Structure 1
């Protein structure tokens, strides 16, 4: 760069007047990452004074003076001195190119209806840069503009920039901090001027897909008028987009694709992409259904699986089931993809592709989207990037004014938080749609990051087919009624350019309608499914009380205990952690009783030792929120980590434990998706405090508790929810046990409150060793982790099993018992301590360790010794309107002796889960224990 250019740079608007801070911003970016600024700026900044070889903060005046000296010192530059005015214009040409890269998308032709009112971007006009008149015929260096030429006539350059950045594609990517990624996208877009080149065969294929998209909707509208179907009409280009995305993914080695989407267009995708038989859909519209398990669900919630033929081989497709909570399916899809990747040994997502399809208002409005974006590059939840498609039909439910549905220019701006490029595209231009689809997939596969496509379209009908959209969008729907369909626009284009005849275009319409009349599959690429995914057959048809072998040789357990308590001598532990591992070695040797943390660790060890996978995520899961797990050991000298459970021996199963992002909703949904795609092994989500699962209530209600009944989707996910009244206040006491029990029916899940280390050991093993796969909700402890009474012998782990109910442990004479107290969890130890202290012999304590499914036969067996007792009490720590009381009392009607009554002992009903004052907590706890034990 020579002095004339420098002079022009100094006098440009970037460094003058109110924008003088621009240079400081550039320099700050350079300090943070030298590659984040253009080569010219980086070269100049490299020449600033440095300290010990490193750039340092410089005041604006010093940097500007440095530039001025450069401008005067012509010896610094290899280029000869030239006319300063010419150099100034050259700089302004480069600024024009940059303006299009930054802001061209804001003047792109994106809205098919032409209703968008967008500000004119002055920087996109050459005149803004003082380039006009004869300048338009002058030739300039185009710098890094990837057109393939070093120089261009300015008028040709301007036309090329408009074609590239202001046509049917609006490329929004200059927010990326990665120079490599920006240059990659510039090369892809600018080298072809934002326009794809397609063969006659390809164009016919695109039209065929548009014909199918339109044909299905018209057929359903005529055959089932008024039926709710959430028509795709207006966004028809999604069908060629998806088919080309899958086709290209298969060419690049993808073996599976998991798709998540909401209602709009779902039926079209089922029929025209996944290959569901048309007759099956028609039968569903007609109210016919075959014999199926469970309650079923509405048509536009249903999933489907098939194989799709591509030039690179078949790709297995799975469309996820999802409820009306639109965006919650996204982390479920990502979790399913991660499970499939793990099963394939795929570390970067090369063989499995996640595709999520969003609505414009939903992606901007629902927080789980931001949570899922935030997870995309983390160790626990990364899948090598997701292709995210936004169907922007410009109406959110009935709201079309974007000022009411978001605070940003684009609905996709949320993606910028994670450096995802956004490719906006006009839905009436199918070739542009295919082009951005190809670029998006290639970007994802190259950089292993999320990428977003915004398909700007419209909704030909209202929110659903029974809606009247003119009531709230009269102008839009007047325009839509006059607007030709995407298929007609493209067919007319192909006829006009001579690609195919009008008769050929019409024939495609008739052929598709005839196929629907025959009820056939209409996807030519459909193939019968091969065994791409895991076989669920071994896990079907089992009841919760089935027999299984829970025993282990004590010698094998001791050997595992020795392995999981060893770590390299060079790995220096924190003092308290070292003491925990010393104690565990003593427990292995039989010198101490086993505590909770070690029993849990041994359970995992027995599973991975037999080749099973164990995955645990949660906000403090590596060490455990309450300092009890310490599965990951941190070296105090160099911060390196060592995980004993990963070092059991050759052939062991993988053990993964991750400290998760600070989210409940997206993380639990991810783990649900993982567990529904991988029945083998143990998948655990652990709440930091059980109360925090409130933030994931949608996942619990819509997926975990009802997914099997609605969709036949089995899931063995385990939730560990720390629960127990320790005086820590309303948000750190109750995991809301009552909410889970209220959701229990038809043996849909298990709710357990284990009270001993042996019980948690067997409970966790049972979830894997027993082939039944249903969710396990655990009220896990806090104070019991170190309670002196909550310990077990090692042989109880080796020889026992999980007991759904535990009877009296003290040597009481059953004939002398006048009252039986039922309870669960920590309150048992308070009752036991108080009874022993009072030397009371007439009250027996019975623990219900599994509240659902209720262990009726085991409780009957325990109560056989108390057939004479009529006074029964249920004691709980939770307020009366919470906990297990209301949701379980009916189970005792069939097991209590004739004439017996069951009474409540616990905290009074309360709007809050717990009190906030320790003194009040202690008083309440003492009162409920006395109430349970004191006989009238």
Structure 2
């Protein structure tokens, strides 16, 4: 190209080409390049400070725009990510356009770099944008810039940048992913054809959930996890039971039988997609991972705090109370419930609290983009169903469920994040629901356009199988062999169940849910609850003793320590709070641990308990009940957040897995217990009947007619009495401190 330089008529053109030449000499015509080289050479000795400053300013301005571009993709890349498998076109965001950062198409070949992207590696602007698109706006949309800790943000950013290209994934990994998908799909298709019309709340459309679960499971041994505590709703639950927890297919199919009667000691049982399970998965490496899936009611998300409490108890049982990495809480949510149910926010708020933390939870949102018949625009005011998790600064990874490799990548990252930081993390699995809310529902009544699109879409399993076949990773014979293997296993098991059905009732195989806890028949008798004078003195001595140098507040010394000593020496009378402390202390000396949690419980709402003393000068806490004797059990007394449902759910879950502990939840006033009514109705009073799961949880419901109005007077005892049936709960309306003392001790003395 011939360029007229002498005319100097177009100063803008000269400046533009000069800027481009400075960035990359090869980006301009050879004539321009020669001119600028001569210009630089001729002016080199005469370059003054102003010229240098101007050049540096231009470079700084460019770098600012480049860094701004990278920051924008970190912050907003998720808004244009291709995470929706049903979307026909990728979303757009003008804030991520070239012009927004002062660039034009002609700038795409500029040589650029940023210390915030790929370790400051030099590349063209075109290559940088392509890299940013792949990392932040492809099948994964990541939200992490709301996290205030720069160390955590940097960890997430660097992990995202390590995402491998598809062609670099080992063959055995890709085949394992296909196997998990085929197993899930085969199971659903089998149920759909052999048990047509029966409710099962299919996983179809979101089969990649199994990729997440299997990925996390196989990371557990190297990550130091020995046990997974799970909670999930009905969607895909049967698939998870059969293919993840390895519940016997014979049992699963038997539960579909019209003649099925569960082998229960007592009670009514529950529908098959509410049942819990406990299993041990033995991996190819030889490692064994324990998995516990909690039974849950139809009340969506109510199981969340229960699982957290169970996980906390399991951590204590495994001696992991410092780092809390050996037991992993894993919750599977639905998109509509995750954003709408208040107990989700309550449970999230427990995540970093001293008395309730479980070392981080992996949350999986099976986002089929519909709640029964309700679309997202009618279900939430936020952009995402997962926005509630930002309140605890959890990283959120939105991922396209039709991209199994991307799903595996975020699963690996979520697991590592939890193990690294001990914090919650969210995987938002974008998927769809192939059929209606249940198999008897017709979704096209309310979403005809959506279901016309879904009906035409191949499953993720078939899409991924095709991808592997086209890439030569898998042969047609290999694929057919896998499909035949799963289909044959399902058919043979069903034939076996059908044969059992034809036998006489006395010859039928009995199936028992492994979550059932069988216990002796109820009796009102118990071991003696009185204590010796020696034990009483030991407890009182401990309650009224403080370490040397600990300065008790004068009023506390007078009304608590001195008063307790005086009452003991005079032989009574013992007040309610004193009787409680004596009951706790005597149990501790017998090796029985105690956990008490509730609002303001350490001092007591009515300033009566004072279980924790504070140094008048330093504020240092001291718990007298922890210092009764050299050999005693541990007591934990926690002030809970201002929440009833999640805290009671947590303590109930704790009581299930640690029955040898006296576990108490205290309502601030008894009347406030109705804020946790779902936990009371669906778990505490009914779980033994539904799932054969008894609990020793104690609810303290302080109340009395003291002129404080209708909300502070009765604890609604009539409601609890209405809930009594088949010896499920005891309602104790105590009238003396002595009764309170003995009933607390009786709770741990009688047969559980």
Q: Which moved more, 1:485-494 or 1:572-581?
A: 572-581
Asked if structure 1 preserves the Cα contact closer than 8 Å seen for 2:516 and 2:692, the reply is: no
CA distance in 2, matches of 1:768, 1:584: 25
CA distance in 2, matches of 1:195, 1:628: 64
SS in 2 for 1:460: coil
Q: CA deviation at 1:563?
A: 1.2
Which residue of the other structure, out of 400, 403, 406, is the alignment partner of 1:429?
Answer: 403
Which residue of the other structure, out of 582, 591, 608, is the alignment partner of 2:562?
Answer: 582
Q: CA deviation at 1:664?
A: 0.2
Asked if structure 2 preserves the Cα contact closer than 8 Å seen for 1:254 and 1:351, the reply is: yes
Which residue of the other structure, out of 78, 102, 112, is the alignment partner of 1:130?
Answer: 102
Written as runs of structure 1 = structure 2, the 5 A alignment for 1:554-703 is 554-579=533-558, 580-590=560-570, 592-703=572-683
Q: Which residue of 2 aligns with 1:704?
A: 684
SS in 2 for 1:652: coil
- Using structure 1 for the length normalisation, give the TM-score: 0.71
Q: CA deviation at 1:196?
A: 9.0
Written as runs of structure 1 = structure 2, the 5 A alignment for 1:329-408 is 329-346=303-320, 347-400=322-375, 402-408=376-382
Deviation readout 1:869-921 (Å, 9 max, x if unpaired): xxxxxxxxxxxxxxxxxxxxxxxxxxxxxxxxxxxxxxxxxxxxxxxxxxxxx
Deviation readout 1:778-832 (Å, 9 max, x if unpaired): xxxxxxxxxxxxxxxxxxxxxxxxxxxxxxxxxxxxxxxxxxxxxxxxxxxxxxx
CA distance in 2, matches of 1:494, 1:126: 36
CA distance in 2, matches of 1:307, 1:707: 23
Asked if structure 1 preserves the Cα contact closer than 8 Å seen for 2:343 and 2:645, the reply is: yes
Asked if structure 1 preserves the Cα contact closer than 8 Å seen for 2:655 and 2:661, the reply is: no
Q: CA deviation at 1:575?
A: 3.5
State how many pairs are aligned: 681
Asked if structure 1 preserves the Cα contact closer than 8 Å seen for 2:688 and 2:728, the reply is: yes
Q: CA deviation at 1:148?
A: 4.4
1:337–1:601 Cα change, 3 Å: same
Asked if structure 1 preserves the Cα contact closer than 8 Å seen for 2:332 and 2:366, the reply is: yes
Deviation readout 1:427-485 (Å, 9 max, x if unpaired): 00111001100000100110100000000000000110010000111111000010000
Q: Which residue of 2 aligns with 1:846?
A: none
Q: Which residue of 2 aligns with 1:277?
A: 248
Which residue of the other structure, out of 477, 502, 524, is the alignment partner of 1:503?
Answer: 477
Structure 2 unaligned segments of length 5 or more: list them. 1-47, 496-513
Q: Which residue of 1 aligns with 2:751?
A: 771
Asked if structure 1 preserves the Cα contact closer than 8 Å seen for 2:526 and 2:749, the reply is: no
SS in 2 for 1:105: helix
1:700–1:581 Cα change, 3 Å: same
Q: CA deviation at 1:701?
A: 0.4
SS in 2 for 1:645: helix
Asked if structure 2 preserves the Cα contact closer than 8 Å seen for 1:165 and 1:194, the reply is: no
SS in 2 for 1:357: strand
Written as runs of structure 1 = structure 2, the 5 A alignment for 1:774-853 is none
SS in 2 for 1:656: strand
SS in 1 for 2:414: helix
Q: Which residue of 2 aligns with 1:95?
A: 68
Written as runs of structure 1 = structure 2, the 5 A alignment for 1:71-86 is 82-86=55-59
Asked if structure 2 preserves the Cα contact closer than 8 Å seen for 1:536 and 1:679, the reply is: no
Q: Which residue of 1 aligns with 2:178?
A: 207
Q: CA deviation at 1:362?
A: 0.1
Which residue of the other structure, out of 265, 286, 289, is the alignment partner of 2:261?
Answer: 289
SS in 1 for 2:59: helix
Q: CA deviation at 1:587?
A: 2.1
Q: Which residue of 1 aligns with 2:116?
A: 144
Q: CA deviation at 1:127?
A: 2.9
Please give the root-mean-square deviation of Cα atoms over the aligned residues, in Å. 2.1
Which residue of the other structure, out of 160, 163, 167, is the alignment partner of 2:134?
Answer: 163
Q: Which residue of 2 aligns with 1:412?
A: 386
1:751–1:453 Cα change, 3 Å: same
SS in 1 for 2:291: strand
Q: CA deviation at 1:724?
A: 1.3
CA distance in 2, matches of 1:101, 1:406: 25
SS in 1 for 2:600: coil
1:516–1:623 Cα change, 3 Å: same
1:452–1:325 Cα change, 3 Å: same
Asked if structure 2 preserves the Cα contact closer than 8 Å seen for 1:724 and 1:734, the reply is: yes
CA distance in 1, matches of 2:277, 2:264: 15
Q: CA deviation at 1:636?
A: 1.9
CA distance in 2, matches of 1:732, 1:704: 23
CA distance in 1, matches of 2:730, 2:339: 36
Q: Which residue of 1 aligns with 2:502?
A: none
Q: Which residue of 2 aligns with 1:248?
A: 219
- Using structure 2 for the length normalisation, give the TM-score: 0.88
Q: Which residue of 2 aligns with 1:902?
A: none
Q: CA deviation at 1:542?
A: 4.3
Q: CA deviation at 1:569?
A: 4.4
SS in 2 for 1:82: helix
Q: Which residue of 1 aligns with 2:30?
A: none
CA distance in 1, matches of 2:535, 2:436: 65
Q: Which residue of 1 aligns with 2:39?
A: none
Q: Which residue of 2 aligns with 1:738?
A: 718
Q: CA deviation at 1:208?
A: 0.5
CA distance in 2, matches of 1:104, 1:241: 23
Asked if structure 2 preserves the Cα contact closer than 8 Å seen for 1:163 and 1:194, the reply is: no
